[in-house]
């Protein structure tokens, strides 16, 4: 899979706003996919200190290991594909793949893959589809005792993308509510 730049804007939604958006986009249950993210860090939080995010994501048909690192406009996503079987074994052992591009990037940042441990998990029901402004995602997530709703817009250009995102919020009458990254929400809930 390799690397790609992620530029996204997001806001938390109320349950009512979430259902209004589902109706607006005429989304049925078939539009949704379930994904579960398993997050990792060192005992002394080296990834968090560097503002890195590391996860294994599983879906019904795929699995991947992704490292997110900050860059000037957004995040650099470095991803190694996993088989469903290898992902299940890694999750059960609370480890990550010791080889591959993610492990290389971690070592380059001074972090040995074998020092990482699983710190949280989050399950999301996601509908993701292209619109004129970019890739829109509607998420319903569960982690610990929490359950929330989120709107994300992934774009290619940061300034135009931010303007498009705020235009969408105005169109739907949704106030901007800062959305912490899912890893932060899941870890804070577990603390």
Whether the per-residue pLDDT at 5 is higher than 70: the answer is yes
CATH number of the domain residue 94 falls in: 2.40.320.10
pLDDT band at 189 (very low <50, low <70, confident <90, very high): confident
Hey, how many other C-beta atoms are within 10 angstroms of the C-beta on 160?
A: 12
Q: Which helix (H) or strand (E) holds 170?
A: helix 158-172
Range of the domain at 167: 2-190
pLDDT band at 190 (very low <50, low <70, confident <90, very high): confident
Domain tally, the chain: 1
Q: For strand 32-42 and strand 63-71, is the pairing parallel, antiparallel, or unpaired? A: unpaired
Tokens describing residue 147: 């359950």
pLDDT tens, position by position, 27-52: 999 999 999 999 999 999 999 999 99
pLDDT tens, position by position, 90-147: 999 999 999 999 999 999 999 999 999 999 999 999 999 999 999 999 999 999 999 9
Question: What per-residue string of b and e applies to 112-134 under the rule 16 or more CB within 10 Å gives b?
Answer: ebeebebbbbbebebbeeeeebb
Size of the chain in residues: 191
Helix/strand/coil for 71:
strand
Hey, how many other C-beta atoms are within 10 angstroms of the C-beta on 99?
A: 9
Per the prediction, the chain carries an average pLDDT of 95
pTM: 0.94
Burial of 68 (0-12, 13-18, 19+ CB in 10 A): buried
By C-alpha distance, which of 75, 54, 92, 47 is closest to 154? 75
Q: Yes or no: say if 13 and 178 are a contact pair by the CB < 8 Å rule.
A: no
C-alpha separations of 82 from 47, 95, 148, 191 in Å? 21, 13, 28, 29
pLDDT tens, position by position, 123-138: 999 999 999 999 999 9
């Amino acid at each position: 899979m390799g690397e790609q730049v992620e530029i996204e804007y997001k806001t938390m939604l109320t349950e009512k706003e979430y259902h209004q958006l589902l109706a607006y986009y005429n989304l049925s249950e078939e539009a949704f996919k379930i994904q579960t993210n398993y997050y990792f860090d060192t005992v002394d939080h080296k990834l968090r200190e560097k503002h890195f995010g590391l996860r294994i994501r599983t879906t019904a048909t795929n699995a991947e290991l992704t490292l997110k690192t900050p860059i000037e406009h957004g995040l650099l996503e470095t991803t190694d594909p996993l088989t469903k079987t290898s992902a299940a074994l890694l999750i059960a052992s609370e480890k990550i793949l010791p080889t591959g591009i993610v492990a290389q990037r971690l070592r380059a940042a001074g972090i040995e893959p074998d020092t990482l441990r699983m710190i949280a998990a989050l399950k999301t029901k996601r509908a993701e589809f292209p619109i004129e402004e970019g890739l829109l995602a509607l998420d319903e997530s569960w982690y610990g005792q929490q359950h929330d709703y989120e709107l994300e817009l992934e774009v290619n250009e940061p300034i135009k993308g931010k303007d498009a995102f705020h235009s969408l919020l105005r169109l739907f009458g949704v106030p901007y509510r800062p959305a912490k990254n899912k890893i932060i929400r899941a870890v804070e809930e577990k603390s």
